């Protein structure tokens, strides 16, 4: 295990009921990050999505992928502790494809690879899978909320 739940909380600003990540099991700089989200029937969103049939909202699968990407971003910076959990991050461009529904009992494995990550943002792509079956593929483009270098 690379990061447990408490360590994840130190790097992410999200809290209950919006922490969509339980564990980081693999991290390699410029290669990949792998996160785990255990989906239980007790999730608050299942109350309404849907009352008669629990299906994890696709937007929240993306949230799990976004949070995994954010952890990668924090870990890949020289000093992740420096801007702690409070760095606001804006996810701008998202391309996603949902392949299968995610239901209670599923273990969501999120594997993201960096396309390009710089100190003020990045692009990550990857997939979420359950038991080896891909449930969602996505590419996320984000910008960290701090002073931008005079861009492009």
Under the rule (CB under 8 A), what is the footprint of another protein? 92-93, 115-116, 118-123, 141-143, 148-152
Among residues 56 and 117, whose Cβ is nearest to another protein?
Answer: 117
Among residues 108 and 138, whose Cβ is nearest to another protein?
Answer: 138
Minimum distance between the CB of residue 114 and another protein, rounded to whole angstroms? 10
Among residues 7 and 139, whose Cβ is nearest to another protein?
Answer: 139
**Is residue 30 within 8 Å of 114, Cβ to Cβ?**
yes
Minimum distance between the CB of residue 5 and another protein, rounded to whole angstroms? 30
Minimum distance between the CB of residue 81 and another protein, rounded to whole angstroms? 21
SS (H, E, C) the chain: CCECHHHHHHHCCCCCCCCCCCEEEEEECCCEEEEEEECCCCCHHHHCCCCCCCCCCHHHHHHHHHHHHHHHHHHHCCCCCCCCCCCCEEEEEEEEEECCCCCCCCEEEEEEEEEEEECCEEEEEEEEEECCEEEEEEEEEEEECCCCCCCC
Minimum distance between the CB of residue 141 and another protein, rounded to whole angstroms? 5
Residue of 32, 49, 127, 137 with catalytic role = 49
Q: Is 31 among the residues known to form the active site?
A: no
Among residues 55 and 118, whose Cβ is nearest to another protein?
Answer: 118
Give me the active site residues, please: 49
């Amino acid at each position: 295990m690379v990061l447990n739940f408490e360590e994840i909380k130190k790097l992410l600003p999200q809290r209950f009921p919006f922490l969509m990540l339980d564990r980081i099991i693999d991290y390699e700089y410029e290669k990949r990050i792998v996160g785990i989200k255990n989906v239980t029937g007790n999730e608050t969103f299942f109350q309404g999505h849907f009352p008669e049939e629990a299906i994890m909202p696709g937007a929240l699968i993306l949230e799990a992928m976004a949070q995994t990407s954010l952890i990668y971003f924090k870990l890949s910076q020289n000093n992740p502790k420096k801007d702690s959990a409070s760095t606001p991050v804006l996810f701008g461009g998202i391309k996603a494809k949902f392949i299968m529904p995610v239901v209670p009992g599923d273990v969501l494995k999120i594997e993201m690879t960096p396309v390009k990550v710089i100190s003020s943002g990045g692009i990550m792509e990857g997939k979420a899978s359950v038991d080896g079956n891909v449930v969602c593929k996505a590419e996320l483009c984000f910008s960290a909320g701090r002073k931008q270098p005079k861009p492009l």
